[in-house]
Amino acid sequence: MKSPRTAAAVLAVTAIAGAGLLTGCSASGDSGNTNGTVAITIASLVPGSSADAFKAFNLRVKEFEKANPKVIVKPVEYQWTGPTFSAQLAAGTLPTVFNVPFTDSQSLANAGQLADITSDVKKLPYANKFNKSLLQVAENDKGDLFGIPYGPYAYGLSYNRALFTKAGLDPNKPPTSWDEVRSDAKTISDKLGIAGFMVFTSGNTGGWGLTEQTYSRGGRMEVAEGGKTTVTADNDQTVAALKFLQTMRWTDNSLGSNFNLDWSGMNQYFGSGQTAMYPSGSDVLTALVQSDGVDPKDYGLGLIPTEGDNSGVLSGGNVAVVSAAASPAEKAAAVKWIDFYYMQKLLDKSAAVADAKSLISNKQPVGVPQLPIFDKAQLDTSLGWIDSYINVPKENVAPFQNGIFDQKIIAEPAKHTQELYAALDSVVQAVLTDKNADIDALLKGVNTQIQALIDADAK
């Protein structure tokens, strides 16, 4: 039998060991700056991306570390979603370098939750070459810079060329008007028994997609006049867009039978061949290949049909930002990484080629449609450098790439964007799941709800 003192000893040891373990562990990866080396954590890819995608990314990380021996980089899976971002912020689990969409970068900058990197960015040779209106999303009200925008996209119509062919439609001629979208969708769903067309519905993407459909008909969700913003969710074009969806759902039955799709759910839906068309960001092919096993040969990108005056295409993008908790050394290292990974491939031939090579060797797509960060000439030059590596068939994305520069590009609504999108989510869901949804009442409800939030800010 063990000595009775053992019981006391066990209790005491547990307490001490517990305390020791607690103090010994480090929760976040932002510590460990010794011997002049700086350690930073960076957002890598969305969780669940393929092993190949991670390999390509890690190759780039190694190249960076070789070029910057004093910086240690630790990649961390990361996905920005409206619902979870501020919890991560509060918990301090954000990497040193991460990305936020255009809709949030300004408010975060103003709230002091991002690091001011104006001086670090000024050291970069191309600091003045940014498209000025694009750069604004990364600035606070005073004009200080808090991030570097990258990957601007516009909405396009992603479609599955193989399914189009199978249904007897010409894959080189995607629909160019909403009526054509409707008839093509009906043909596909009748012939193949899948959703001919589908839209995002949850995780704030329902509202995002509905806003795009509004813009494409010439409407606006928010109108700013003389410093006051009015929510206009019940405008005629949004009503028309919802009625369009209603018809396709209840009359044509061409929208399939799953209406609870957020961004990654919808990508999976498309990737597994359960829908043939959906409006999406023009850069979604990367995620489709990395996470949903899509073959670029079967992928097509067309223009979203635009009709009516004032119509345009919703655009957005991401901003590479630095956590407010970063030390000056970490900030400098972070900006170096952002420059290396996000920018160099647009500015320097060898960097562009290295990036393309790492993607190719890991079966990732090269040549996903892009919009310019600096100007169109620079974009064309950078695309020329990697021309031989492009593995996305050019004709597949030609309808979009050729037509987008003639389109009016419209930014997302400015105030309380994510709450607006969240409120619109349930409107879209209601229209798609309830035959008798009262569109006007639902939209008026959104007006009231979001207007209250905007008015409260002014107090």
List binders of other proteins among 256-315 (CB under 8 A).
256-260, 262, 264-265, 267-268, 272, 291-293
E runs forming strands in 87-164:
97-101, 147-160
Backbone φ and ψ for 425, nearest 5 degrees, come out as -50, -50
Q: Is residue 11 close enough to count as binding other proteins by CB under 8 A?
A: yes
What residues from 318 to 357 belong to the interface with other proteins (CB under 8 A)?
Answer: none
Q: Is residue 458 close enough to count as binding other proteins by CB under 8 A?
A: no
Q: How many chain residues are in contact with other proteins, going by CB under 8 A?
A: 73
Residue choice 34, 51, 142, 225 for contact with other proteins (CB under 8 A): 51
What residues from 223 to 242 belong to the interface with other proteins (CB under 8 A)?
Answer: none
Q: Is residue 165 close enough to count as binding other proteins by CB under 8 A?
A: no
**Helices H / strands E in the chain, number of each:** 19, 10
Q: Measured from the CB atom, is 12 or 224 closer to other proteins?
A: 12
Q: Measured from the CB atom, is 19 or 67 closer to other proteins?
A: 19
What residues from 121 to 150 belong to the interface with other proteins (CB under 8 A)?
Answer: none
84 is written with which tokens?
Answer: 């979870």
Backbone φ and ψ for 18, nearest 5 degrees, come out as -60, -50
Smallest distance from the beta carbon of 188 to other proteins, in angstroms? 15
Smallest distance from the beta carbon of 113 to other proteins, in angstroms? 8
Q: Is residue 27 close enough to count as binding other proteins by CB under 8 A?
A: yes
What residues from 188 to 217 belong to the interface with other proteins (CB under 8 A)?
Answer: 201-204
141 is written with which tokens?
Answer: 């009200």
What is the DSSP track for 184-231? HHHHHHHHHSSBSS----STTHHHHHHHHHHHTTT--SEEEETTEEEE
Collapsing DSSP states into helix, strand and coil, what is residue 46?
coil
Q: How many Å apart are CA 214 and CA 220, to the nearest integer?
A: 6
Q: Is residue 377 close enough to count as binding other proteins by CB under 8 A?
A: no
Q: Measured from the CB atom, is 47 or 384 closer to other proteins?
A: 47
What residues from 411 to 440 belong to the interface with other proteins (CB under 8 A)?
Answer: 418-419, 425-427, 429-430, 432-434, 437
Residue choice 104, 212, 234, 355 for contact with other proteins (CB under 8 A): 104
Contact 226, 217 (CB under 8 A): no
Q: Measured from the CB atom, is 331 or 415 closer to other proteins?
A: 415
What is the DSSP track for 288-316? HHHHH---GGGEEEEEPP--STT--EEEE
Q: How many Å apart are CA 179 and CA 185, to the nearest integer?
A: 10
In a 13 Å sphere around the CA of 272, the CA atoms on its Cβ side amount to 7
Smallest distance from the beta carbon of 237 to other proteins, in angstroms? 21
What residues from 63 to 102 belong to the interface with other proteins (CB under 8 A)?
Answer: 76-77, 82-88, 90-93
Q: Measured from the CB atom, is 32 or 47 closer to other proteins?
A: 47
Q: How many Å apart are CA 175 and CA 171, to the nearest integer?
A: 10
Q: Measured from the CB atom, is 86 or 177 closer to other proteins?
A: 86
